Amino acid sequence: MDARANGLTIKAPGRPLTGRVTPPGSKSITNRVLLLAALARGTSRLTGALKSDDTKLMAAALRAMGVTVEEPDDTSFVVTGTGRLQAPAVPLFLGNAGTATRFLTAAVTMVDGTVVVDGDAHMRKRPIGPLVQALRSLGIDITDTGGYPPVTVRGHGPFAPGRVGIDGGLSSQYISALLMAAACGTGPVEVALTGKEIGARGYVDLTVAAMRAFGAEVEQVDEATWRVQPTGYRAADHVIEPDASAATYLWGAEVLTGGAIDLGVPAAAFTQPDAKAQALIAQFPHLPAVIDGSQMQDAVPTLAVLAAFNQNPVRFTGIANLRVKECDRVAALATELSRIRPGLGREEGDDLIVASDPTLAGQVLPTRIETYADHRIAMSFALAGLKIGGITILDPGCVAKTYPAYWDALASLGVTYDEVA
């Protein structure tokens, strides 16, 4: 695909898609272990890593703070740290990378000096207030911009021992950010939820596993509390598993076309929360009438597009947090589904209802899909183009955020496109 193309019109293959595609490395794990390796003393080798816009922004920010980050090949980082981050000469620009922005907001509190954490226009609409409030409760001099980035941190060294409460209802990334920084504290730190809701608990488990791999001691005291010892981190070599969110598009393409796509790794081998979606995808075209997306949020766009061809309507619940992702994904999914066929998707409160119409398959319905600079909207609606003629994905280059080779991966399975200049 020409990166300059304004759109790609997908040609429905009309046959099962078969072949082997290896998904890229996990974005969630790559950005976690990049930071942990940077906070460790010594050299860590990270293999199977994702190289995308989000991870490149994280690596660039770490380099700006004195960490050596080398890239010997397309799937590896070699990170050498001193155990401390230095104040960067300029603000850290993190685009629309939510993981990097939230994680670094907590990590840079350990820097002696002032650090500004900023992002693009989209990131400046994504809330960070709960994390800032939690850090402020620890005595850290930190300000945000009306609850959003940019954030200014006037750091004075590691966390002091104590207990910090955090509202994780909007994003589990707030909890992960505190946990990772806490291991570099001067004493034990307890991180406690102030409410029962948590964005996606599985991602906190992912964080804890990564921390332990780099030598941290983390104890889950109860369902709402974690105790982190002041161990710091030690350098480690780490193999990063493939991205489960990326895998959902390939699982979706397989069931939609009746094909057989080998990902090189079984679904059961993934530790990421979105892998739970595979069990649902396998039920297509008999998806459940109600799907709770709270613990596999990034898989919801894939499931919603599959639901358009399902035998019965599907209601997606527990997805209010999708409104504060790269775009308002609840609204985007409803709008773009209904662009294909009026009434196909609609919002009801924070739920998404997909009307489902199996007869869509095989029709030619010229539709230009707005992607809102959101990689997941682009990749999920590409699946609709496997069954409906005339689907055009606008701004296809936005997939570079997490899966730069996405269009090439589909092409390797025999999918063809017309580029829109």
Q: Is 126 annotated as a binding residue?
A: yes
C-alpha closest to that of 14 among 409, 394, 414: 414
Q: Is 329 annotated as a binding residue?
A: yes
User: Locate tokens 């010229």: which residue?
Assistant: 366
- Cα distances (Å, whole numbers) of residue 72 to 54, 76, 114, 241, 407: 18, 6, 32, 18, 25
| Contacts of residue 117, Cβ cutoff 8 Å, sequence gap at least 6 | 91, 92, 94, 101, 104, 105, 108, 149, 150, 151, 152, 153
Q: Is 325 annotated as a binding residue?
A: yes
| Contacts of residue 409, Cβ cutoff 8 Å, sequence gap at least 6 | 21, 250, 403
Catalytic residue among 54, 274, 298, 395: 298
- Kindly state the helix (H) or strand (E) to which residue 384 belongs, with its residue range: helix 375-384
Q: Is 245 annotated as a binding residue?
A: no
Total residue length of the chain: 421
Q: Is 276 annotated as a binding residue?
A: no
C-alpha closest to that of 300 among 271, 270, 320: 320
Q: Is 171 annotated as a binding residue?
A: yes
Give the helix ranges, DSSP H, for 138-213.
173-182, 201-213
Tokens representing 263? Answer: 């990902």
Q: Is 163 annotated as a binding residue?
A: no
The answer to whether 76 and 46 have CB atoms below 8 angstroms apart is yes
Tokens representing 296? Answer: 């596999």
Q: Is 376 annotated as a binding residue?
A: yes
Taking the C-alpha atoms of residue 419 and residue 421, their distance in angstroms, rounded to an integer, is: 6
Sheet holding 162-166, edge to edge: 162-166, 189-193, 225-228, 218-222
Q: Is 102 annotated as a binding residue?
A: no
Q: Is 264 annotated as a binding residue?
A: no
Q: Is 401 annotated as a binding residue?
A: yes
Residue 163: beta bridge partners?
Answer: 190
Q: Is 351 annotated as a binding residue?
A: no
Q: Is 298 designated active site?
A: yes
| Residues that are catalytic | 298
Q: Which residues are annotated as a binding site for 3-phosphoshikimate?
A: 27-28, 32, 171-173, 298, 321, 325
Q: Which residues are annotated as a binding site?
A: 27-28, 32, 98, 126, 171-173, 298, 321, 325, 329, 376, 401
Q: Which residues are annotated as a binding site for phosphoenolpyruvate?
A: 27, 98, 126, 173, 329, 376, 401
